[in-house]
Amino acid sequence: MTGEKPPLVAHIIYSLGTGGLENGLVNIINRTPPQRYRHVIICLTTAHEFSQRITAPNVRIIQLHKKEGNDLGMYWRLLRCLRQLRPAIIHSRNLAALDAQVLGLFLSGVKQVHGEHGRDIYDLDGSNWKYRQLRKFMRVFIDRYIAVSKDLEQWLLGSIGIRPDRLSQIYNGVDQSSFKPLEDKRSDILPAGFLRSPATIVLGTVGRLVEVKDQAMILKALDVLLREKPTLRDKLRVVIVGDGPLREQLLQLAEELKLSELVWMSGDRDDVPQLLQAMDIFLLPSLAEGVSNTVLEAMSTGLPVVATDTGGTPELIEQGVNGYLVPVGDFVALAASITSLLDAPDVLARMGEQALDCIHQRFDWDRTVEQYLKVYDGLLGITGVELKEGSNAAPLNKMEAE
């Protein structure tokens, strides 16, 4: 119908802060043609500065300010909000937002989508009985599931009992125009005097400083390396990008291990592409992962990756081809893999090239967005629509509190 507004998708998430889930959501919204779908983000708690990365026009961000523990008032506020918005689709993400889908009972004609992006520290392998029962109960409300990795797809099929015809596996993409290699390693973005020489090797990671990311494993591995080869003290530096509740604990560990002068903790940054261009090897020591956006971004920058063998990470890293996989929590194995790359610069370079080639072949945000929109189209019975470039209109976004 001429003049009819595009369908509205209400994205329900716990909070809008720095993280892989949030990064994926923002990329999908920014890259969706505005004539195809409209978007609203409903944060059960709050939104932070990360919301400023939304460039799509007219995206509302609503904060419900959920209290700790049970907050029945939050559900009433959410229902009232959804009734006013009248979305065509409710799209929740991860366990923290899953039970909000119950409110679909009170909304006529709405389609319900749930995305699984990875498990948290309280349920690393998805075996928690209480959480599994909740997920199984919620199956009756959800029309379609999306898993960001094949690992999560198989878990939803086998452990939760999702029907195959209601489940799509869609990888995240990576912005290859922003995350790309430089011919010469960038050093001007690092603190003055941090690098001892142009030959300094920079080990780096990007992520929230939370328990599940286990950045302490990097510091312990560096300690092992320097005990075995003290001469590396002048050659190695570590960059940890991100912020979170474990920042002080990590700083204290670096001091206890006498590594403070070798480690730069940058905090949250808006220039992650440039910081990756200053690194030589990317490390991801997580206890659990869905599919890591930061690994994809590092690979797109042409970096070899040494990561823990967990979740969807083995779907990105081929052992000995574009990086190494090590057991979760095994900092000695992490140190050994780093040593292998330091001892063979040609292997380091070749793995970086293989990582970049993998990105070019398999991971692209436009492809990812098209797959998400196909899920939405299928639920709404929309056919014959092609993905087109979005409008260049200036953003007119606003943040609201219920």
Give the CA radius of gyration of the chain. 22
**Backbone phi and psi for residue 26, each to the nearest 5 degrees, phi listed first:** -65, -40
The pLDDT > 70 percentage for the chain reads 96
Domains recognised in the chain with CATH numbers: 8-173+364-401 (3.40.50.2000), 201-362 (3.40.50.2000)
Of the candidates 4, 23, 8, which has an alpha carbon nearest to the alpha carbon of residue 380? 8
Work out the average pLDDT over 247-256: 98
**How big is the CA angle at 310 (ends 309 and 315), to the nearest 5 degrees?**
80
Q: What is the pLDDT of residue 315?
A: 97
Q: What is the pLDDT of residue 4?
A: 85
Q: What is the pLDDT of residue 387?
A: 54
Work out the average pLDDT over 176-186: 90
The whole-chain average pLDDT of the chain stands at: 93
Residues 351-395 pLDDT 10s: 999 999 999 999 999 999 999 999 999 999 998 765 554 444 445
Q: Tell me the pTM.
A: 0.89
Q: Is the pLDDT confidence value at 198 over 90?
A: no
Q: What is the pLDDT of residue 122?
A: 84
Q: What is the pLDDT of residue 66?
A: 93
Q: What is the pLDDT of residue 7?
A: 97
Q: Is the pLDDT confidence value at 399 over 80?
A: no
Q: Is the pLDDT confidence value at 191 over 70?
A: yes
289 vs 397: which has the higher pLDDT: 289
Residues 255-297 pLDDT 10s: 999 999 999 999 999 899 999 999 999 999 999 998 999 999 9
pLDDT band of residue 333 (cuts 50, 70, 90) is very high
At position 144, the amino acid (one-letter code) is R
Q: What is the pLDDT of residue 386?
A: 59
Q: Is the pLDDT confidence value at 397 over 90?
A: no
Q: Which residue spans within 225-370 are E strands per DSSP?
A: 236-241, 263-267, 281-284, 305-308, 323-326
**Backbone phi and psi for residue 8, each to the nearest 5 degrees, phi listed first:** -100, 130
Q: What is the pLDDT of residue 76?
A: 96
Q: What is the pLDDT of residue 396?
A: 56
383 vs 150: which has the higher pLDDT: 150
Let me know if 144 is exposed, middle or buried by CB neighbors in 10 A (0-12, 13-18, 19+): buried
Residues 52-107 pLDDT 10s: 889 999 999 999 999 988 889 999 999 999 999 999 999 999 999 999 999 999 99
Q: Is the pLDDT confidence value at 19 over 90?
A: no
Q: Is the pLDDT confidence value at 345 over 70?
A: yes
Measured CA to CA, the distance from residue 385 to residue 368 in angstroms comes to 16
